[in-house]
A and B are shown apart, each in its own frame.
Chain A
Amino acid sequence: MRRFELVLCIILCLAATDAGAQKLTVVGDRFLVDGTPRFLTFVTYFGGMGAPNINQDLRLIRSLGFDGIRLWPNLDTGPQLMNGDGSLRSDELKRFLQILDQAKLERLIVDVSFTYEHIRGMTPSTARIGIENVTQAVRSYDNLLFDIQNERNVNDRRFMSGTDVSRIYTAVKAIDPARITFADNAPVDTPEYAAQFTATYGLDVTAYHEPRPGNWYTLPVTEAIVSALRVVGKPVYLQEPMSTRDDLFGYPSQDRAEYFLQAIAHAKLTGAAGWCFHTEVGVDFRTGAPFFEDRLRAYPEPEWAFVSSLSPRLVLRANNGVHYLVAEGGGGSGVRADRTAAGPGSWDTFNAISLSGGPLLSGDRVALATNDGKHYLQAVNGGGGALRALSTTIGAAETFIIEKTGGGIIRHGDTISLRVADASWFVSAENGGGGNVSANAAARGAWETFTLLFTTPHITP
């Protein structure tokens, strides 16, 4: 039996390795994925240890456009990873590693948030033993970050002193110096306190759970919080913003995706490095629909509307106001700007892939996938010539900088331009539309501007 398990483990490990798992690192106040800075978007999957369909759930989460999940492996709604003395439960460890392996395959980051209060008899001292054991068990995973204790500053069973956090941080680093490790703070303290806590104990990330007033999602509120958190120069992770629903509290401004769309855009705009969509649908899988997708779809607002926005689809209307950019045949051929609003079909719809992560901001690097789902817009020879939709991979010629005058969030109806990344060529619709499209304009004029219209949920201008 043990031999079988060993063989199974080797197969799983090799499969995960073959998929080319991504490596999460921190440089300055940015998260990097495989060496490239990226704004990370997480979704709460607290009860994943008890989820009956992990593979399908994680595949969905990836396909929706999330970068990672937030998992509570000690949560009491499912199998719990630790015993009170800090030892790991063997079946639960296998379950935990199965989740991590599947996340690896799906190229998802896992925020492993520990909650010692959920384990009977566990103390900060035994929590240290437990986290040491986990650190040892997951050394080979590059796609994780550790939250030593959820809301460690709340004066109830969650409380963990700074000294205890520091001891655990040191213990983790002694085993795995590269493990990104921190402890988050709840809004019972200010963001200034949270930043100082990170600085005092030398943690890798400043994770903060924001207050939840009615205007929690607005730019001024987000800017004030993020700027306070950024002062210590570590990545700012807004780990637990407003919840979409809550059994205990009647929070304001949580019933429509619009609030969450604004919140994540403002987080990225003001310099946060990561943000988590805080839905409760993945907390307890003991009852309800077994698939995460069905749980999200059960709430058209805000859950499904929000998650449908992350991989935005859009059309680009040429400057003449009449014609739309179209990939001939839906992709795999040329690109023109002569589709009309009266013409049926969807060859004029593109999937925007933000290579910078998160909602589209002016200056972001994007690739535009065609409607056939197989091809990308490509500046032939890296620019200076035709624009086509022949490529099936994303490289420099398929990467564009999306820009709008004045900068900021790219909103529905904005006038934008597309510049070939690493070059100075702009995408241009000849005569402002009605004909060919090239990537050969050396400057931005009228022909190089397009009206961007999202076909997926988006921030109301």
Chain B
Amino acid sequence: MPPSTPSAPPTAALTITFDENPVAFKSTGCSFATPGGWYAQARVQETAGVAVTVTSLTQRLDGAANSNLAESFNSRFGACAGGTFTAGTIPAGGAVCGLVGVCTTASHGTYQFSITGTDANAHAVTVDSPVLRLSPR
């Protein structure tokens, strides 16, 4: 019987979904400073059983990183309903949730975000969300 070779440690797998896509423009409820905008609930689910430590969040409008949306992962994502949240972490087999999108008086066509980090097995992890299509105002 040949000696078994140790299997490689698994890599975290992240799946991102929106509760609404395309998303309609809403004239109220986006933020205090800018009431109108496009926003949807995002869920980032880890499915491989490996936790991820997040190092950066990038948010893009119409395909380009937008400085008006330069925010941290911790201030944008938190616990999903009924769950818990550890700052800077997507738990193994767990999920984080957050309201994403853009509050604006301008017109845009798409929104997307990316998460970069390192999983518990020291693998670099990068994941792009699906493109969130912003319906015409």
Point out the residues of chain A lying under 8 angstroms from B85, CB to CB.
328-329, 333
Chain B residues with CB under 8 Å of A334's CB are 74, 87
Q: Which residues of A contact B75 (CB under 8 A)?
A: 326, 328, 336, 338-339, 347
Taking a contact as CB atoms under 8 Å apart, the answer to whether B39 and A344 are in contact is: yes
Chain B residues, CB < 8 A from A326:
75
A341 interface residue per 8 A CB criterion: yes
Asked if A138 is at the interface of the complex by the 8 Å CB criterion, the answer is: no
Across the interface, which residues of A come within 8 angstroms of B68, CB to CB?
A: 340-342
Contact A342 B32 (CB under 8 A): no
Does residue B51 face the partner (Cβ distance < 8 Å to A)? no
Is A344 in contact with B100, judged by CB distance below 8 angstroms? yes
Q: In the bound complex, do residue B78 and residue A341 qualify as a contact, i.e. CB atoms below 8 Å apart? A: no
- Tell me, yes or no, whether A56 is within 8 Å of chain B by CB: no
A455 at interface by CB-CB < 8 Å: yes
B residues 103-134 near A (Cβ < 8 Å) are 103-104
Q: Is B91 an interface residue (CB 8 A)?
A: no
Least distance between A373 CB and chain B CB atoms (Å): 15
B20 at the interface (CB under 8 A from A): no
Bitwise interface map of B from 60 to 101 toward A, beta carbon under 8 Å scored 1, else 0:
000000101111101110110000010100000000001111
Q: Of B32, B34, B70, B76, which contacts A346 at CB under 8 A?
A: B32
Q: Nearest A residue to B38 by beta-carbon distance?
A: A344
User: A339 contacts which of B39, B66, B71 (Cβ < 8 Å)?
Assistant: B71
Smallest CB separation, A108 vs chain B (Å): 30
Size category of the B interface is 20 to 34
Contact of A338 among B33, B70, B100, B101 (CB under 8 A): B70
Q: A338-B70, A340-B71 are in contact. Are A329 and B31 (CB under 8 A)?
A: no
Interface bits A310-354 vs B (CB < 8 Å: 1, else 0): 000001000000001010111001101011111111111100000
The residues of B that contact A344 with a CB separation of less than 8 Å are: 30-31, 37, 39, 99-103
A345 CA to B31 CA, complexed, in Å: 5
Contact A340 B69 (CB under 8 A): yes
How distant is the Cα of A336 from the Cα of B32 in the complex, in angstroms? 17
Report if A434 contacts B (CB, 8 A): yes
A345 adjacent to B99 (CB under 8 Å): yes
B87 proximity list for chain A (CB < 8 A): 328, 333-334
Digit string of A348-385 for contact with B (CB within 8 Å is 1, else 0)? 11000000000000000000000000000000000000
Which residues in A have their C-beta under 8 angstroms from that of B100? Answer: 344
A342 and B78 in contact, given A315-B33, A333-B87, A348-B32 (Cβ under 8 angstroms): no
Q: How far is the CB of A203 from chain B (nearest CB, A)?
A: 46
Nearest-neighbor residue (CB-CB) of A435 within chain B: B72
Contacts of A345 in B (CB 8 A): 31, 39, 76, 98-99
Contact check, A342 vs B74: say whether CB atoms are below 8 A apart: no
Interface string of A278-320 (1 = CB under 8 A from B): 0000000000000000000000000000000000000100000
Residues of A near B39 (CB, < 8 A) are 344-345
Q: Which residues of B contact A (CB under 8 A)?
A: 30-34, 37, 39, 66, 68-72, 74-76, 78-79, 85, 87, 98-104
List residues of A whose CB falls within 8 A of some B CB. Answer: 315, 324, 326, 328-330, 333-334, 336, 338-349, 434-435, 453, 455
Given contacts A342-B31, A343-B103, 17 further A-B contacts (CB under 8 A): A315-B32, A324-B33, A326-B75, A328-B75, A333-B85, A333-B87, A339-B71, A342-B102, A344-B31, A344-B37, A344-B39, A344-B99, A345-B31, A346-B31, A347-B75, A347-B78, A453-B33
